[in-house]
A and B are shown apart, each in its own frame.
Chain A
């Protein structure tokens, strides 16, 4: 129940955020998608025990957050939801990788490093993905997919699924509310009515699909999705992409944390 309302809220929120008009929002969607992909690849390409070398990549989400004026807390909350699986798998690292190393004079199992590195990677990748959609929105993103030569039929299908998500989730939410009002002690839907609960919903879904198809065909749809013209990225878009990519690759090659640490220690000396 709360899960579905949460998801509804989440989709609406991200869609609202995508309506903002910051510098980041105005960038070409394809450029944002590609930049995100380069970032993701760089993040996951770090080795298992890397932590300090990985840390400087935090500049990307932090800068995006502040330039795009997106709210930090709701988005980070979303990131937290994605953590349990990673923690569940990562937590085995310290158990199986027990070789002792010394970090800042403390003896710990090497697996802990792998664990924290994994958690960090998860935070970075999920944040980057959510920032992408929050600063772009589904419509422009489909535009980017079209430029990547994804077939229009898939994009139309994707658009429809996205469009009817909130409609159907609202329907499910109403049904579950009606159910819980009459079955207050139950945690979920009783097995005896699994079939008709979802079945009713699916029949209504069929009817809706039929009506949507009618609406489409009345406006001349013949299986070909006529999307508008594609807008090409501007020079400034390319500059954005290239400068981030160079930054990511530099971070990948040079351990910025180490360099900064050395510098700092020297200054202190």
Chain B
């Protein structure tokens, strides 16, 4: 599931982008150092493969529905973690630009959710399951376990990123209960499809899987060390987020209240006070009641005053005016452009 721009706050987006860029920079270093140049075209074309394979409908028996491939695990199995991660990153960039799947601000989140977990946490699991050599059974369980874990972590990250961004009211528990089971089902399909493709490739071209598995320095890393790395990354991200949180007067409470969405109104105060002042200045008839009359006071619990949330009458009227004006200007420019072109032709 792709994180969308609209769901994240700039801070969350920026933090995740920084984290993903770090992983990407390290991966590029690894790819350049450890691997032959053959891998670059291989990565490029495999990226295109996964992109197209994502569009194949796999019918799921007895449900009448169909599933799709995500492809992160497959890339890691075919290319190894570093090259696989970079390939996933470029797929996600193209999706964000051309399809509006995810977005440029959420790019870091998506690369993290769909790339880091698959390539650096789930792939070692796959290697661990298949470390005694490949056979159909081991490939199946390796792909299944790693896909499930990668997708669960990815889904959980979506939940966390959305909550930290504070754009929805969904309580943490409900959100988790919503996301995790869906991704369990998606993960099963992903696992099976990845397993059957990997098995097919292993039977037809065993050297592809074996070289990747042996050639990867990560193969010699212990699962423990990888867990530690992920943990450290998580702590760093959590830390920077809570640093941001502590910048707020409410401190820790902020992250909790963000879920409930009430603290935000206070941070808004400054802007709105400034705004109200301007409104007052501009308003010739302040008694008309549309401009703010009760700026700065704390809100009553029951019914909120409108202007705090930017929906005063003037806001509504002005909003419509803005829309009309914008569209009018748009048409005007087109009109004049056309006219000019016609006159040029003459």
Contact = CB atoms under 8 A, between A and B. Distances in A.
Interface of A: 1, 3-4, 7, 10-11, 14, 36-37, 40-41, 43-45, 47-53, 55-56, 58-59, 62-63, 65-67, 69, 78-79, 81-82, 85-86, 89-90, 92-93, 95-97, 99-104, 110-111, 113-114, 118-119, 121-122, 124-126, 129-130, 132-133, 138, 141, 151, 153-154, 156-165, 167-169, 171-172, 176, 186-191, 194-199, 201-203, 205-206, 208-209, 212-213, 216-217, 221-223, 225, 253-266, 269
Contact of B315 (A1, A124, A197, A258): A258
Give the most central of B5, B51, B69, B101: most A CB within 10 Å.
B5
Nearest to B42: A209
12 contacts: A44-B5, A47-B264, A96-B174, A104-B311, A125-B105, A133-B97, A153-B28, A187-B64, A191-B61, A198-B197, A201-B53, A258-B312
B162 A89 contact: yes
A157 B90 contact: yes
B229 to A, nearest CB: 21
Given A37-B104, A257-B318, A69 B169 contact: no
A160 B104 CA distance: 20
Nearest to A79: B100
A221 B2 CA distance: 35
B214 interface: no
A154 B57 CA distance: 30
A257 B322 contact: yes
A171 to B, nearest CB: 7
Contacts of B90: 154, 157-158, 161-162
Contacts of A161: 43-45, 47-48, 51, 87, 90-91, 94
A194 to B, nearest CB: 5
B94 A262 contact: no
Given A89-B168, A154-B90, A209-B45, A169 B303 contact: no
Interface of B: 1-2, 4-10, 13, 24-25, 28, 31-32, 36-38, 40-49, 51-53, 55-61, 64, 66, 69, 78, 86-87, 89-91, 93-94, 96-101, 103-105, 162, 166-171, 174, 192-193, 196-197, 199-201, 204-205, 208, 261, 264, 267-268, 271, 274-275, 278-279, 282-285, 288, 290-291, 302-304, 306, 309-319, 321-323, 325-327, 329-334, 337
